[in-house]
Structure 1
Amino acid sequence: MSSHYTMEERAWHAWIAAAGPDTASERQREAYETSVWPNSPYFRLLAWHPDSLSARTQLDRAIFLTRDGLPRGDRELAATVASRVNGCELCASVHARFTAAFSKDEATVLRLLQEGPEAEFSGRIGAIVDAAAALTQSPSAFGAHHVHALRAAGLSDADILDVVQATAFFAWANRLMLSLGAPAAPGAADADALGDQRANDAIAARS
């Protein structure tokens, strides 16, 4: 059972200087100010290449914030699995909170964090967990039997595509984050970034 993964807030510290009001160009400031977390050192670091960050922001919102298709809780579950498999503590905590907020099943989310996707989950949750874990480990590990299990759990082909997109996006995003910095216990210097987390948590709680 792991003690590294939690639903509590986590901070993230970049290994190189992030862009900021005094160092960024107008285009770089626009990129991080319109990102998912404008005060996050991660997004401000990505803002050094503003076109890439803007493309990432659009893709993130298209996958997770659309009202159509797979329920948001299931998308967040796939992202939580990817983050847990990749060992990204910050993303795991964020998406675990989102999963719990949308699914109203905190106990299952906590079990996933503590025991990992190797734990046995039944029904729809089990099918999504198994598929997301396999896809994150290696695309070739995701096979027809995962698709059959997702269909048997009631997912349409469009829903399955949503699972794949949510998983693939965070399988990539985790690895980028892990290569640019490290998770940390929140401190006073992280107040603005944590404010972004709390604002997004509040939106999820109201949904």
Structure 2
Amino acid sequence: MFNTDVCRYHYINLNDLPEDIQAIITEVQEKTGFIPNVFLTLARRPDEFRAFFDYYQAIMNREANLSLAEKEMIVVATSSANGCQYCVVAHGAVLRIITKQPILSDQISINHNHSAITQRQKSILDFSMKLCRTPEQINEEDYNHLYKQGLDDEDIWDISSVCAFFGLSNRMAIISAMQPNPEFYTMGR
């Protein structure tokens, strides 16, 4: 049933989706107790759904020098800059759960410069915000600042991948008027 309170586009019945997508959604539902609206929104185009979630898994679950918490910080900060309520709320919940810090994601979504984070994390978010807002201004000084924090070119690629992917995700959430599931608001609090 189409519900404009949740999304601009109608959802496809779970049973009408390809089996592989049904399996992914059912697994998430069993793990979380609900189906995040992003799954139902993107499932309307199965090939794009697969590509989206494959790339999400590739960048977010990749063994790297960046922690999952640092990646989620990038998501929250840049999604806030892009005005994406869905991603700020949903990934803010994930960040709260990972860090066990119930207010950190709220701080980062408002202004990471006033958050209780390390200098390394501040540097990661400074770079991410510059890439998000003014990518044409990235220069060698930005890289050198990250190098001073012990980050290397592979880490910078990871930071950039998360930032770029969620630029896409933010825009799709915004144009679809995707709303965060109510469950996200209280998770990890």
What is the alpha-carbon root mean square deviation over aligned residues?
A: 2.9
Mapped contact 1:18–1:45 kept (Cα < 8 A): yes
**Out of 80, 85, 93, which is 2:81 matched to?**
85
**Cα distance in structure 2, aligned partners of 1:96 and 1:184:** 11
- What TM-score, normalized by structure 1, do the two folds share? 0.71
| Structure 1 residue 150, shift from structure 2 partner | 1.2
Matches within 5 A, 1:1-207: 13-21=6-14, 24-25=16-17, 27=18, 30-31=20-21, 33-34=23-24, 37=28, 39-103=35-99, 106-113=102-109, 115-117=110-112, 119=114, 123-183=119-179, 186=182, 194=183
Mapped contact 1:131–1:146 kept (Cα < 8 A): yes
Mapped contact 1:13–1:41 kept (Cα < 8 A): yes
Question: 1:84-107 deviations in whole A, cap 9, x for unaligned?
Answer: 111112211222233344445555
Letter in 2 for 1:16: Y
CA shift in 2, pair 1:71/1:118, >3 Å: closer
**4+ aligned runs moved over 4 Å, structure 1:** 35-38, 103-108, 117-122
**Cα distance in structure 2, aligned partners of 1:147 and 1:165:** 15
Which stretches in structure 1 are left out of the alignment for 5+ residues? 1-11, 187-193, 203-207
Question: 1:103-152 deviations in whole A, cap 9, x for unaligned?
Answer: 45555433222x32465876112211111111112431333222111111
After superposing the two structures, state which structure 1 stretch, 50-59 or 102-111, moved more.
Answer: 102-111
- What TM-score, normalized by structure 2, do the two folds share? 0.77
Alignment length (residue pairs)? 176
Which stretches in structure 2 are left out of the alignment for 5+ residues? 30-34
CA shift in 2, pair 1:149/1:100, >3 Å: farther
**Cα distance in structure 1, aligned partners of 2:181 and 2:12:** 22
Query: Percent identical across equivalent pairs?
Result: 20
| Structure 1 residue 14, shift from structure 2 partner | 0.8
Mapped contact 1:31–1:51 kept (Cα < 8 A): no
**Cα distance in structure 1, aligned partners of 2:28 and 2:136:** 32
After superposing the two structures, state which structure 1 stretch, 118-127 or 61-70, moved more.
Answer: 118-127
Letter in 1 for 2:85: E
